Amino acid sequence: MPRQILITGNRSGATVTSKSLLLMLALAALVVASLIVYGDFGETFRQLSGFPLKHLLASLALALLNYFFRFARWGYYLKVLGIKIPLSSSSLVFLSGLAMSITPGKMGEVLKSHLLRDRTGVPVSISLPVVVMERITDLVAVVATGLVGVALLPVPVLITLLVVLAVCGVALLVLAPNYSQRLVDIPLLRRWKIELLNSQQSLRLLVSPRIMLGAVILGTVAWCSEGVALWVILRGLGESLDMQKVLPIYAAATMVGAITTLPGGLGGTEVGMVSLLQQNGLPRNAASAGTLLVRVVTLFFAAILGLVALLFVKRMKATGQTETPTLSVNR
């Protein structure tokens, strides 16, 4: 068994092993090296070393703005479910989830439900739909971010995209609340009947049109802020690509990374972003440097923040600092 370096719950099994972490770091190092080599080592290094500090700080601030609005959505969901947790503990749980940005499809963010249980006693089955809905509304928000540059899309493509989104939205509202009722009828899953029904009740609340709209708005503002961070970085590199082009590029590259299901979208996001930036007139070295910098201030910055938060959670757990179980879930 590989040595566990982060332990996140007695029963959850939600752990990060030294082996898996090393694999993620190796993949990240490979991607970074590939970007530098592709952009011409000497020229890319020159651009990175001379990058203006004010642009770096501005892009980091925009990344923090992304986390702020996503945290607001997290708190909004918890309030809808009636889950009470002190702001400090809630922020630590949320930030810890950022460490799971480097897991395939961010599936590791299930960790937040286990941490929430450890801090408040709320069953994982009740809060897990929050994590699921975060991923769904992130998807819608990233698409919405791309639509900010709608003028760049051919009308047939735009109409097709809107129809697909509408169909998916209707399917989610109609089918999602009933999924667990059907699952409990499967013989192999009957042993988890209570957990599935808990999740169903939570999901019914979270997929209401009013709640969905609020969550999507918060998510769209969050992801637009990271798109603007890419624009700021390109300006720092001396490139003046229009915002209407930058936002769809960032959204499309993010979607490509998500489709690959690789940890943090590594590889897919970078290839997509470099390709789209070059298609829009950027030289190879600027496209590579810009992509590398935006990934540092978004993905890697998030992972570092998350790991620091996890260390705080682990330390608090070791000293026995836990909240009094509080659960008044709206039903």
pLDDT tens track for 31-47? 888 888 888 888 888 88
Whether the per-residue pLDDT at 210 is higher than 60: the answer is: yes
Maximum separation of any 2 CA atoms in the chain, in Å:
62
Locate tokens 């480097």: which residue? 102
What pLDDT score was predicted for residue 182?
A: 56
**DSSP letter at 263?**
B
Round the average pLDDT of the chain to a whole number and report it.
78
What pLDDT score was predicted for residue 192?
A: 47
- Give the pairing of strands 16-17 and 4-6: antiparallel
**From the centroid of its chain, how far is CA 32?**
20
Taking the C-alpha atoms of residue 140 and residue 218, their distance in angstroms, rounded to an integer, is 11
Region 143-152: mean pLDDT is 66
Is the model more confident about 328 or about 75?
75
Whether the per-residue pLDDT at 213 is higher than 90: the answer is: no
Helix (H) or strand (E) holding 135: helix 124-147
Query: Which ranges of 148-242 does DSSP label H, i.e. alpha helix?
Result: 155-175, 179-183, 193-206, 209-236
Give the number of other CB atoms < 10 A from CB of residue 15: 15
What pLDDT score was predicted for residue 292?
A: 94
DSSP state letters, 84-114:
---HHHHHHHHHHHHGGGGSBTTGGGGHHHH
Q: Which residues face 6 on adjacent strands?
A: 16
What pLDDT score was predicted for residue 127?
A: 84
pLDDT bracket for residue 274 (50, 70, 90): very high
**DSSP letter at 298?**
I
Contacts of 24 (CB under 8 A, 6+ apart): 102, 263, 264
Give the number of other CB atoms < 10 A from CB of residue 73: 25
Taking the C-alpha atoms of residue 223 and residue 235, their distance in angstroms, rounded to an integer, is 19
Give the 3-state DSSP-derived string for 275-328, with helices as H, strands as E and coil as C: HHHHHCCCCHHHHHHHHHHHHHHHHHHHHHHHHHHHHHHHHHHHCCCCCCCCCC
Give percent above pLDDT 90 in the chain.
Answer: 29
Locate tokens 């003046």: which residue? 240
Locate tokens 């570092």: which residue? 304
Structure tokens at 115: 């941490």
Whether the per-residue pLDDT at 57 is higher than 60: the answer is: yes
